[in-house]
Amino acid sequence: MENPFEMIMEKLNSIENLIKQKQFNSPSEEQSVIQQTMNLNQAAAYISLSKQTMYHHTSTRSIPHYKAGKRIYFKKAELDQWLTKNRIMSRDEIEQEATNYIIKHKRKF
């Protein structure tokens, strides 16, 4: 029969090793989040808008953003999604959609 104190020490060592591994992984994850977060100036430059326009979008809540005190932050992925949400269809796509509608909704006389 194993000594119970040795078993406890082994388990504590394995827990300690897991914690150390997690600590080594955390800084890279944290850096990734920091790199994906932008302040107002960086976000304005990224999407080619003026700071005044960015302030307008944040005040009307039309752009996703975060506030920490008086500072405003943006996530790159959310800005990308916001930029691409109002896609304008091409002329060919509109014609194709109209053709499909006509085919599906034939008038009966």
Residues 43-69: tens digit of each pLDDT: 999 999 999 999 999 999 999 999 999
Q: Where are the alpha helices (DSSP H) in the chain?
A: 4-36, 40-46, 51-59, 76-84, 91-104
The structural domain count of the chain equals 1
Per the domain annotation, does 29 fall within a domain? yes
- Which pair of structure tokens corresponds to residue 25? 């992984």
Per the domain annotation, does 90 fall within a domain? yes
Per the domain annotation, does 98 fall within a domain? yes
What pLDDT score does 24 carry?
60
- Complete edge-to-edge strand list for the sheet that includes strand 37-39: 37-39, 71-75, 66-68
- Indicate the pTM of the whole model: 0.56
Per the domain annotation, does 51 fall within a domain? yes
Per the domain annotation, does 109 fall within a domain? no
What pLDDT score does 50 carry?
95
